[in-house]
Homo-oligomer: A and B are copies of this chain.
Amino acid sequence: MALSCRAHAFSVEALVGRPSKRKLQDTREQEQSELQENEGGEEEEERKNNAAEKNEQLEMPPKTEPSTTALSGSGGGSGNDNQLKSLKEKDIIQVELQGSELWKRFHDIGTEMIITKAGRRMFPSVRVKVKGLEPGKQYSVAMDVVPVDSKRYRYVYHSSQWMVAGNTDHSCMTTRFYVHPDSPCSGETWMRQIISFDRVKLTNNEMDDKGHIILQSMHKYKPRVHVMEQDTRVDLSQIQSLPAEGVKTFSFKETEFTTVTAYQNQQITKLKIDRNPFAKGFRDPGRNRWKQWLISSDF
């Protein structure tokens, strides 16, 4: 493996599968506000290649909640609300998405993320706050991106909508895994700071050797955040799959996105330009002023 100690992205065959909690599908919106989609780590490894049978049609954009928190009980599956409330908050690992307002604005339009051969950052990026860790215990925090379904999508301009255009060819799909550079770190330190995954890069290059997360274009994905107990002395730079135990997984509906190599929906382009500091050059007023400069100055 050509990854250096801090390359942070690793192949995880075992995680390829999509979420199989189908009965949550329609209630997912509420879960976002109450408990998000928490996927208990323990039973993740057997989810391999459940083909996505249905879900062929697009869904209506969900209504947005102001802030988003995901809880994790002990076991795995999203426990129910009452049960969770009966536990002390300290005992429950809780992950709160930062910047969820912006995420929701994108989500309402239909978030698109550009992927390139060299690797492209996400905007918005995944940023979370964690609560309920044991202060003295060591944890690692990681992120990956998993398919939402096995469909290929196509953007229909005249209706400004994404339509199913076929099925995924599961050729060389290995899910990579970005370990947050601060890992491992004490629960106290993790909880004191905002955990940002802004350096994560997405690529469509299946041969990528820079440790970026490999995705297929024109597919729907969602990022996931994993909080891992680090009591055993495993070297994260070496492991090939998630530890079976002591892993809590969180995801947020509003962070779902469709991969593209060029933006399809112009509203997305506009919002990106408007909010991403690096795109400031494309904000309107006085654009192309330099051309007039060029005209008026002679060499």
Which residues of A pack against B, CB within 8 Å? 4-6, 138, 181-182, 184-186, 189-190, 192-193, 231, 233, 235, 237-238, 297
Contacts and interface: CB of A to CB of B under 8 A. Distances in A.
A112 B150 CA distance: 60
A286 B297 CA distance: 21
A287 B237 CA distance: 47
B5 A185 contact: yes
A181 B4 contact: no
A182 B7 CA distance: 10
B237 A185 contact: yes
Nearest to A297: B297
B235 A6 contact: no
A182 B233 CA distance: 16
B4 A189 contact: yes
Contacts of A235: 138, 185-186, 189
Contacts of A138: 233, 235
Nearest to A188: B238
Contacts of A190: 5
Contacts of A186: 5, 235, 237-238
Contacts of A6: 181-182
B237 A193 contact: no
